[in-house]
Amino acid sequence: MGRKSLSFFKGQISLSLQMLWSNMFFQTMEVLRMVAAFGSGAMFSLVSGMGGPNQAANAVTSGFFFALIQGVLFQFGQKLSQPAVEDMYYSQTRSMLNSLGLQNYEKNFKKGLLTDNTLPLLTDSALRDVKIPPGPRLLILDHVQSFSSTF
């Protein structure tokens, strides 16, 4: 392969990649991963010599299989990485506790069902009921009073 051919090939790849990135159908990483998985499967089939007399059909079949496996694994990973449904009720609470350096009391809030909706209603006795010591209790109550309009 001459230098001109190689240069043309590299230019085509660069142009193809730019078109891929600009095309709205290929914006998500999942699609790109599946395309890469398809290519990996097809190349694996061609390089390994697996299959029979019809290598093109085997390459396409292997590509689809690899892409399918990639898609399933990605979806499984997405399910595992999503926060628990109950955590969506504690986002402001978690943020408040983190800003005060009291994130270790998040479990106390969850145990007492003190959600984001209950933050403006917090009292000393409610925090005492969920076993939060006096010092952190005062910090939390002061923070809630300071930011009561944002809750």
Where does the pLDDT of residue 130 fall: very low under 50, low under 70, confident under 90, or very high at 90 and above? very high
Name the band, by pLDDT with cuts 50, 70 and 90, for residue 3: low
Q: Which two tokens stand for residue 95?
A: 């943020």
Does the predicted TM-score (pTM) go above 0.75? Answer: no
Residue ranges covered by each domain of the chain: 3-81, 85-146
- Identify the weakest region by mean pLDDT among 5-19, 32-46, 135-149: 5-19
At the fourth CATH level, which superfamily is domain 85-146?
A: Transcription Factor, Ets-1 (1.10.150.50)
Q: Is pLDDT at 14 greater than 50 in this prediction?
A: yes
Q: Is the pLDDT of residue 141 over 90?
A: yes
Catalogue the long-range contacts made by 108-113 (C-beta closer than 8 Å, 24 or more residues apart).
Answer: 108/132, 110/86
